[in-house]
Structure 1
C-alpha cells in the first residue's frame, strides 16, 4: 500500500542532541546505558595493549559482552522503574 506524501507529517525536526534530551526526559536510563557502553568500550580499547597472551578475538568478545551487559542492565532498570511507577497504589485522597 503506497501512502500519499501529502499526508506524511514529521513528528519533530531537530538535532541529534535535542532528540537525545527528549529521550532522556522520557526514559532516564537511556543516557545511563549509553554512558556505560561508552565507558566499557573505551576501557576495552585502553586495555587492548596490556591483554597479555589472550587472543584478540577473546578480548574483543569479553569487551562486547561487558558493554552489552551495561545496556541490558540499564534497560532492565528502566523497565522495572516504569512498572513500579505505573503499578504503585495511589495514596487515598486526604480527608478534611
Structure 2
C-alpha cells in the first residue's frame, strides 16, 4: 500500500523550474506567447504618456487586444505546426524506407 502512494507522489517532487522547462519543451509556443504578451504590455505602459489625443481607455483596449492577439496567434501557430509535423513525418518516414 505504501508503494502506491510513493509512485503517485513522485510527480510532486518536481520543482517549479524543472516543471516549467518540461512544459516549455512539450509546447514551446506557449512561453513564446507569454513573452510576447509581457512585451506588448510593457510597450503599452511605456507609450502610455505619449499617446497623444487618444483616450486612456481606448489606448488600454488596443494594448489588451494586441496582447491577446499575440497569445492566440502563437498558440494557433504552434498547434498548426504540430499538426503539420504529425501529418508529414510519418509519410516521409514511410517513403524513405
User: Using a 3 Å threshold, how does the CA distance of structure 1 residues 86 and 12 change in structure 2: closer, same or farther?
Assistant: farther
Q: Given the alignment of the two structures, is residue 40 of structure 1 paired with residue 40 of structure 2, yes or no?
A: yes
TM-score when normalising by structure 1: 0.79
Say which structure is richer in helix. Answer: 2
Which residue does the alignment assign to 1:52? 52
Alignment of 1:1-96 (within 5 A): 9-10=8-9, 11-88=11-88, 89-91=91-93, 92-94=95-97
Cα RMSD after superposing both structures: 2.1
Distance in 2 separating the partners of 1:48 and 1:39? 14
TM-score when normalising by structure 2: 0.79
Residue-pair matches, total: 89
Structure 1 unmatched ranges of 5 or more: 1-5
Structure 2 unmatched ranges of 5 or more: none
